[in-house]
């Protein structure tokens, strides 16, 4: 290596081998892609000679270019969620972030329109859900503003049409840096490519499916866990090799609260319950007139104008002690009404209904059933059985019965609590399923009708006279 190459500083030029491109900053500090010829001219301005000292040898510019290819090579070029523009090291590689988020400067002041909007959306009678929204938003802001990764939860809003769910998501985009992406297809397994997600701090999901089968819901749950609780993420673009990046992002979901629409949410089992916040959004009038393009534009502009004051409130917000969580910043929460609606449509609850119809139908004094999951499936799906058609549809995949029984054992649903237990016998799991509580717990009804004449019960002394 020439002494000139060793003495002069390496110019701020970076090489992206995948595209065989070079990157440098322009006069406004924006990162731009240049070809090799332009890169050489830029390098020459740093004192390197373009002329070779001997025939067949490399010039100083060419030697410097090779040094850049060796030491300034980057594996990724583009926007990256939660990172300012510049060079960053991730998983042992250099990445070049070309543009960063655009932050709204927080400033103390009033925010009456936003206050009315969020009160109408998140205050459900005596239940005020705003601390969960404010706490989630504060944790997100703390992480993103400081460029520090922190595990997070999915923030979901469920309610009727026209309650401000999508409006709030658009406001969240502005509050988290102004960039959003749509991860729905990837999270539901409709595509294996996810590189677009890495360009936005706000992963925004909306009600994009009519109904979701249990396998898709399970995949959704697995992706919530992977995307929101792992620092290293696999970035895979079309016709590109996958690479590991470390985005800092947050995810929201808006959906209607009809039971079939709520099926986009995964079952609230122990593996995912602490990773989801679901607020019930109430139907209420907007704090300003809407309904026309002009009115809605004025409403939006008013909300945006109040964001600096609202963000100052969020940045200084103190999460109540009972809601604080060391990992996420705020505890998980699911509105009980939403939980009830989802549990009513959960496959394990459906299995319980099938069990009640298939094991004890017509029995006056039903007793608890003992057996393996395979034995239960065989009994429920037997030919000409009362529930065979429904059972076969529900138990269509391997070990479905065992999976659903395990969820029933751990379920918090009122109709399931305490009814399913398990134990190990010779290495096999044996399940004990109790009949519905009504059959066990309710007293026998009093038989008022009788063939024998019956005198009415006597009343306490003095009371008969008062009733006459």
First to last CA, the chain: 118
Tokens found for residue 321: 């002690």
Count CB-CB contacts under 10 A for residue 391.
26
Tokens 């070779």 belong to 52
Residue-range domain boundaries for the chain: 3-74, 112-335, 346-441
Tokens found for residue 84: 């300012």
Instruction: List, for the chain, all residue ranges whose pLDDT scores fall below the cut of 70.
Output: 1-7, 208-214, 437-468
The candidate with the shortest Cα–Cα distance to 178, out of 273, 328, 311, is: 311
At residue 3, the pLDDT reads: 61
Q: Give the DSSP per-residue string, 52-108.
A: -SSTTSPPHHHHHHHHHHHHSEESEEE--TT--SEEEEETTEEEEE-----PPPP--
Q: Is the distance from CB of 46 to CB of 11 less than 8 angstroms?
A: yes
Torsion angle (degrees, nearest 10) of CA 195, 246, 36, 38:
100
Tokens 């019930």 belong to 280
Report CA-CA distances (Å) from 109 to 105, 139, 141, 306. Answer: 12, 21, 19, 8
Torsion angle (degrees, nearest 10) of CA 413, 415, 420, 421:
60
Question: What is the rounded distance in angstroms from the CA atom of residue 183 to the CA atom of residue 195?
Answer: 10
Q: Is the distance from CB of 363 to CB of 371 less than 8 angstroms?
A: no
At residue 2, the pLDDT reads: 57
Judge residue 248's burial from the number of C-beta atoms within 10 Å of its C-beta, 0-12 exposed, 13-18 middle, 19 or more buried.
buried
The candidate with the shortest Cα–Cα distance to 370, out of 422, 431, 436, 423, is: 431
SS3 of residue 225 by DSSP:
helix
What strands, in cross-sheet order, belong to the sheet with 93-97?
Answer: 76-78, 93-97, 86-90
Domain 112-335 is of which CATH architecture? 3-Layer(aba) Sandwich (3.40)
What sign has the CA pseudo-torsion 443, 448, 452, 458?
Answer: positive
Tokens 């205050």 belong to 123
H or E element, residue 375: helix 373-380
Question: What is the rounded distance in angstroms from the CA atom of residue 175 to the CA atom of residue 102?
Answer: 9
User: What residues form DSSP beta bridges with 432?
Assistant: 370, 421
Judge residue 271's burial from the number of C-beta atoms within 10 Å of its C-beta, 0-12 exposed, 13-18 middle, 19 or more buried.
middle
Count CB-CB contacts under 10 A for residue 136.
25
CA 133 to chain centre: 14
What sign has the CA pseudo-torsion 234, 240, 241, 246?
Answer: negative
Give the DSSP letter of residue 240: S
Q: Give the DSSP per-residue string, 298-352.
A: HHHHHHHHTHHHHHHHHHT----GGG--TTTSS--EE-HHHHHHHHHH-HHHHHH
């Amino acid at each position: 290596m020439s002494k000139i190459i060793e003495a002069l500083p390496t110019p701020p030029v970076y090489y992206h081998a995948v595209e065989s491109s070079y990157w440098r900053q322009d006069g406004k500090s924006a990162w731009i892609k240049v070809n090799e010829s332009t890169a050489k001219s830029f390098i020459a301005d740093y004192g390197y000679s373009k002329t070779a000292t001997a025939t067949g040898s490399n010039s100083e510019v060419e030697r410097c270019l090779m040094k850049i290819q060796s030491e300034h090579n980057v594996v990724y070029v583009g926007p990256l969620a939660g990172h300012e523009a510049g060079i960053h090291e991730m998983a042992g590689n250099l990445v070049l972030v070309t543009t960063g988020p655009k932050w709204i400067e927080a400033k103390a002041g009033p925010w009456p329109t936003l206050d009315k909007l969020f009160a109408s959306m998140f205050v459900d009678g005596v239940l005020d859900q705003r601390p969960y929204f404010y706490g989630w938003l504060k944790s997100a802001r703390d992480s993103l503003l400081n460029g520090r990764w922190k595990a997070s939860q999915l923030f979901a809003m469920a309610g009727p049409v026209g309650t401000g769910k999508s409006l709030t998501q658009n406001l969240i985009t502005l509050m988290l840096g102004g960039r959003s992406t749509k991860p729905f297809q990837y999270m539901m397994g409709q595509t294996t490519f996810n590189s677009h997600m890495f360009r936005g701090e706000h992963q925004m999901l909306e009600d994009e499916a009519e109904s979701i089968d249990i396998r898709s819901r399970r995949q959704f749950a697995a992706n919530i866990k992977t995307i929101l609780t792992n620092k290293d993420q696999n970035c895979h673009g079309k016709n590109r090799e996958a690479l590991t990046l470390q985005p800092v992002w947050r995810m929201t979901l808006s959906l209607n609260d009809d039971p079939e629409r709520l099926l986009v949410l995964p079952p609230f089992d122990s593996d995912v319950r602490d990773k989801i916040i679901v607020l019930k959004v109430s139907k209420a009038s907007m704090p300003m007139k809407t309904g026309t393009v002009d009115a809605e534009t004025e409403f939006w502009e008013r909300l945006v104008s109040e964001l600096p004051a609202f963000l100052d409130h969020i940045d200084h917000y103190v999460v109540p002690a009972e809601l604080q969580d060391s990992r996420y910043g705020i505890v998980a929460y699911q509105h009980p009404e939403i939980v009830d609606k989802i549990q009513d449509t959960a496959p394990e609850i459906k299995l319980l209904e099938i069990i009640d119809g298939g094991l004890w139908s017509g029995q006056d004094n039903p007793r608890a059933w003992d057996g393996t999951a395979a034995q239960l499936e065989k009994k429920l799906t037997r030919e000409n059985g009362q529930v065979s058609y429904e059972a076969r549809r529900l138990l269509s995949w391997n070990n479905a019965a065992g999976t659903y029984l395990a969820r029933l054992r751990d379920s918090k649903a009122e109709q399931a609590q305490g009814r399913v237990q398990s134990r190990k016998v010779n290495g096999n799991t044996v399940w004990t399923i109790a009949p519905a509580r009504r059959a066990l717990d309710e007293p026998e009804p009093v038989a008022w009708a009788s063939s024998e004449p019956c005198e009415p019960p006597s009343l306490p002394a003095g009371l008969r006279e008062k009733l006459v």
